[in-house]
Structure 1
Amino acid sequence: MPQPKLATFPAIRGALRFYQIASVITGCMLLLLCAEMILKYAFGLELFLGGSGGLLWFAHVDAFGESTGDGTNLSLGILIAHGWFYVVYLFACFRVWSLMRWGFLRFVTLALGGIVPLLSFFMEARVAREVRAYLADREATELHSRAEHSSLTQQIPTENQR
């Protein structure tokens, strides 16, 4: 499998930070989405802001799945926000995946973090740990090989030293 170039390491660090932020936001939005789905389909309730019920209130959902509340439907807002944050999360996953030159299955695993509840939190910690360890190891190896190379070139006599 091809390895990332040393010149891309700053970009990898930036992509990793963006991935970590997107992962936490997407994970929180997914948990809100799960809570909203449980409220709607198990209890027949949707969350509203403003309207006839007060500042924050729950309205019942009728038998056809239509909301009976007035005001701003926060349940719908959670659905839309999660969808857009998931797109941002996929972009963050793609960025880390492409810069690290991982296989396609790894991208699929990263993408599942925004679909499976709580997985994004575990994936974020694991990916951050793996990427940081990889970067540190590659930089140490490169530094060691450069030091060996410079010490070898210093030992080779030049024309003036002979």
Structure 2
Amino acid sequence: MALGPQPSDIPLIRRTLAVFKVSSIVTGLFLLGLVVMMVTRYGFGRDIELLGPDGFLALTPKEELTGVNLSIVLLTVHGWLYVVYLACDFVLWRVAYQGARSYAFLRFLWIAMGGIVPFLSFYFERQVPREVEAIVAELDQQTTTQEASA
């Protein structure tokens, strides 16, 4: 049994890549919101309040919150979106990278950093598809070569 992706895996690789791209953008956006929240909470000592007495959005000291604490919502949503991003990264690693290259697991860990380091997920949303499409092109070429020799 050969290691790495097979030509029959191409549809799965493409579907996985599409989901990964969406998850990297959404996770990156919520990570940027989380950075804003961290600056307001730890830099200014205020949380982001939604629908409080001071209006639609306001920066309010934590002890005086009466509306929805948007800071906690951002923390929670980003945490779950990161889990989805990590799952997409893992599936993509399993179907496209594993066994194909000696550095495959390190690549998985590096891409996982995209949900932790601001702006890195946006870079991966552009870079990873290029690499995966190159792998798919190799698989297409193998299929064409096998069909021509048969």
Q: Above 0.5 in TM-score?
A: yes
* One-letter amino acid matched to 2:88: A
Superposed displacement of residue 2, structure 1: 2.4
- Distance, in Å, in 2 between the alignment partners of 1:101 and 1:51 is 48
Superposed displacement of residue 19, structure 1: 0.4
> Do residues 21 (structure 1) and 22 (structure 2) align?
yes
Structure 2 residue aligned with 1:52: 53
User: Is the contact between residue 30 and residue 114 of structure 1 (CA under 8 Å) also seen in structure 2?
Assistant: yes
User: Is the contact between residue 9 and residue 95 of structure 2 (CA under 8 Å) also seen in structure 1?
Assistant: yes
- Distance, in Å, in 2 between the alignment partners of 1:101 and 1:119 is 19
Paired positions, count? 144
Q: 1:55-134 residue pairs with structure 2 within 5 A?
A: 55-61=56-62, 67-102=63-98, 103-134=104-135
Structure 1 residue aligned with 2:35: 34
* One-letter amino acid matched to 1:87: V
- Distance, in Å, in 1 between the alignment partners of 2:75 and 2:18 is 25
User: Is the contact between residue 2 and residue 101 of structure 1 (CA under 8 Å) also seen in structure 2?
Assistant: no
Scaled by the length of structure 1, the TM-score of the pair is 0.83
* One-letter amino acid matched to 2:23: A
Structure 2: which 5+ residue stretches go unaligned? 99-103
Measured on the aligned residues, the alpha-carbon RMSD in Å equals 1.5
* One-letter amino acid matched to 2:93: W
Measured against aligned partners, the alpha-carbon deviations of 1:16-68 in whole angstroms (never above 9, x if no partner) come to 0000000000111111100110011111121111122222211024xxxxx32
User: Which structure would you say has the larger Rg?
Assistant: 1
User: Is the contact between residue 20 and residue 85 of structure 2 (CA under 8 Å) also seen in structure 1?
Assistant: yes
* Structure 1 runs, 4 residues or longer, greater than 6 Å off: none
Structure 1 residue aligned with 2:5: 4
- Distance, in Å, in 2 between the alignment partners of 1:92 and 1:49 is 31
Higher relative contact order (CA 8 A, sep 6+): 2
- Distance, in Å, in 1 between the alignment partners of 2:88 and 2:97 is 14
Structure 1: which 5+ residue stretches go unaligned? 62-66, 151-162
Measured against aligned partners, the alpha-carbon deviations of 1:107-138 in whole angstroms (never above 9, x if no partner) come to 11111110111111111211100101220232
Superposed displacement of residue 93, structure 1: 0.4
Once the two structures are aligned, what percentage of the paired residues are identical?
A: 38
- Distance, in Å, in 2 between the alignment partners of 1:94 and 1:39 is 33
